[in-house]
A and B are shown apart, each in its own frame.
Chain A
Amino acid sequence: MKLDFQVGTSKKAHKVMGKLAGRTDDDKAPKNEKAPFEKMSDAYLFGLVLGLSKGQKVDSISNRINYANFSSIEGDLDIYSMIKLFGDKDDLSDKDTIKNAIEAYATWGLLHIDENYNYGDDDYRLAEIFTNE
């Protein structure tokens, strides 16, 4: 089932997503070469899967910012099946719950990365994220 709706995240997580993709506050500045992701959408997807794999999502999203149509993030993947397999049962009740679940997982994942794997100066070390329970 293809998911075709706008997704977003909290203002804070949106900023993290930018940092993870090497964006700085100054649009004219060059991309941060230390960034671990090519694009913001890669970071969003990673955050979402991280939340799903840990079974963690935020309760609510403060200062929500619309980010993109989910189809551009999902690409050829089947995120619906992924949520069905790894998410909560209630996540798939209807279109709204699916959207909310996606945003809640992704937001938790992005904030978790920034809190635990940012070594300062927007230099992230992500290897441990794959081994830490």
Chain B
Amino acid sequence: MIKRIEIILTAGIFLVTLSCSQDLPLNKDLTKKSYKLINQDSTLVKFPEIILGNITVMGFIYTHCPDICPMTTHNMYLTEMRLKKDNIKDVKFVALSFDPERDKPYVLEKFAEIRDIDFKNWTLITGEQSIIYDLLRRFDVRAVATDSVFYDDGEVSYSMMHTDRISLIDKEGRLRKNYVGSRINIDELIKDIKYLGEY
């Protein structure tokens, strides 16, 4: 009889574990390599060290993007507002620019300020192009400059083709799930955050 109960319990634990791992399909350790980056205040920061200890919602953007990246950023902002309503205030939000040539720290700061982004919970980061591209590879995010136009003063502007991505990272610095940034289901993201944080 005891053996039967043990078998049932083991099967139950296995099923629960299986269903949880299906909810958060990834478990990629991001702590194996450290990246020297710069934030919107021009302060040097190390990734993933800056996010360890907090659940992090990370978006991949460039500030000259008119359509997709503002949707991604706004979805992150809406997620933050929803979490605040539920009194969850320790989730961090990181926006990584994959356009370091134009997205200097002051540009990132301005991009955030115009959207009423609260730097208490948010960090916008950029860095040297080679470092950024190495970090993008860790997340399987692709970004490449495409169509260019010349302004009258000779300056060149370009668009970028890029992965439309928001990622969820746990407190230990493990990538746990990817979402389509501009079309994310915010309810799903919040459910996953609550599962990870045991809120």
Tell me, yes or no, whether A binds B: no
Residues of A with Cβ closer than 8 Å to B? none
